[in-house]
Amino acid sequence: MNLKYSKDYQRFREEVRQFIKDHWTEEDVAANPQLSEMAQGLGSSPRTDERATAFRRAAAERGYMYRHVPRAYGGGEQAPDPLKATILVEELKAAKAPVELMSQGPAMLVPTLLAHGTEEQKKQYVESTLLGHVRWCQGYSEPGAGSDLASLRTSGVLEGDHWVVNGQKIWTSNAREADMMFALIRTEPDEPKHDGISYLLIDMKTQGIDVRPLRQMDGDAHFNEVFLDNVRVPRDSVVGERGQGWYVSRSTLKAERALIGNASMARRTFDGAVALAQMTQVRGRPAIEDPVIRDRLTDLESRVLAAEYNGFRLLTESAKGHDGGLAGLVTKLHTSTLAHDVSKLAMNISSDAAMLAPGEEHAPFAGMLVQSYIMYYALAIGGGAPNIQRNVIGERGLGLPRDPRR
C-alpha cells in the first residue's frame, strides 16, 4: 500500500486549491451563521445557503463535485477516481468550503435513482436533491418488524392513476423537515414476502400523512412516527419495477452502509473528545493529563487509526478496480461501534454536565454531547443491525452455517 500521491495527483491538488481560491472567499467563510467550529465538528448540518449552493454548482460544473452523477442531472460526470475524490474532500475541508451533501437524499436516494429510476424521476429529483432543495426521509422501518425489513405491512392498492397507501412507518429521522419520502410499500399481497414490495416516492405534504415526533431522553426528537391514512400517490412514483422494491432497496442499503461506515465519523468524534479533554478540568487539572483518560484516548486512537488505514486499503483496492466485498460490512460494523465508544468517553469527561440538553445553560458544546451519544446507538442499527451484519459476514465471508430462519 503506497500512501504517497503521484506527481499527477499533486498537480490535481494544486488545481483544486486554485479553484477554491477563485470561488470561495474569506467573506463566504465568515458568512456562515452556524454554530461554533467545535459544535460543527460534533455533527451539525452542513451549509445549504445561497453561497454554498452557488459554490456546489460551480464545483459540479468543473467536475469537482458529485463526480459519479451525469452532467444532465447536475453532477460532475467524471470517471471513477477514489484518489481524486479523497484529495477534493481534503482540500474543501481545509478551506472550510462546502463539501457534497451527505444526507439521506444525496447519499442514499440519488445512487438508487441513477441505478433504477426513470428518466423523468432523475430529471425531477437528482439535481434538486444534490443541492439540498429537496430533502428526503426514509420510510423503511415499521412497528413489529424488528430487523426483518421485508416483513413490512404498510400497503399500497392501485386505484386508477394513484396508489392508495395505508400503514405506519417508525424511526423515521428528519420526517418533519423532509419534503419527500422514499418508502417500501407492500403492493402485491399475494406474492412471496420479498417479491410483493414496491419502492415509492411520496410527497410529505400529501393529505393523509401525519408525522408525530418520538421524544428522546435529551428532550429532542430526532426520530418520528409517520402514519399514512389513504394517502394517494401518483402511479408513476414507483422506482424500478412494480413488486421489485426489495431489490431496488439494496442499492439504498449499500449506500447507507457506506455513509455510516466512513472512518471520518469516528475521527471527527475522536478529535472532538481530545479537544474536550484539553478544555475540561478534572480534580483541578486538565482532563488530558489524567492517566486513566489518557489510557482510554490512546486505546481509542489506535482503533481510529486502524479504521482509517483499513479505509486506505479499501481505497487502494477501489483504485485498482477491485470490489471490496464484505470489507464494507466489516467497516460499518467496526466504525459505528467505535464512534459510540468515543462519544461515551466524551460523556465521561464532561461528567454530569454532559447530561444537559441542548438549549440548557452550561450545556457543553451546545448540548451536542448527549445528542451524539444517543445518535450513535441509532447509527449502529442504520443500514442493518449488528446481528444482521454479523450473520452476513459469518455466512458469506466465513462460510459458517446459515442462521436458522423461522
Active site residues: 256
Cα 140 from Cα 245, distance rounded (Å): 11
Contact 248, 258 (CB under 8 A): no
User: What cell was used for 161?
Assistant: 392513476
Rounded distance between C-alpha atoms, residue 401 and residue 398, angstroms = 9
Q: What's the one-letter identity of residue 406?
A: R
Shortest CA distance to 246 belongs to which of 303, 318, 188, 167? Answer: 188
Whether residue 123 contacts residue 69, with contact meaning beta carbons closer than 8 Å, is answered with: no
105-135 burial by CB neighbour count: b if 16+ within 10 A, else e? bbbbbbbbbbebbeeebbebbbbbbbbbebb
Q: How is residue 4 written as a grid cell?
A: 504517497
248 burial (CB, 10 Å; 0-12 / 13-18 / 19+) is buried
The neighbouring-strand residues paired with 163 are 158, 233
Q: State the residue for C-alpha cell 482510554.
A: 296
Contact 133, 163 (CB under 8 A): no
Distance CA 238, CA 17 (A): 42
Q: What is the phi/psi pair of residue 243, to 5°?
A: 80, 0
Q: Please classify residue 287 by burial: count the beta carbons closer than 10 Å to its beta carbon, then call 0-12 exposed, 13-18 middle and 19+ buried.
A: buried
User: 334 and 307 in contact (C-beta within 8 Å)?
Assistant: yes
Which residues, in sequence order, are CB contacts of 252 under 8 Å at separation 6+? Answer: 108, 109, 111, 112, 138, 182
Q: Which of 308, 259, 229 is nearest to 102 (CA)?
A: 259
- Comparing CA positions, the residue from 254, 293, 256 lying closest to residue 273 is 293
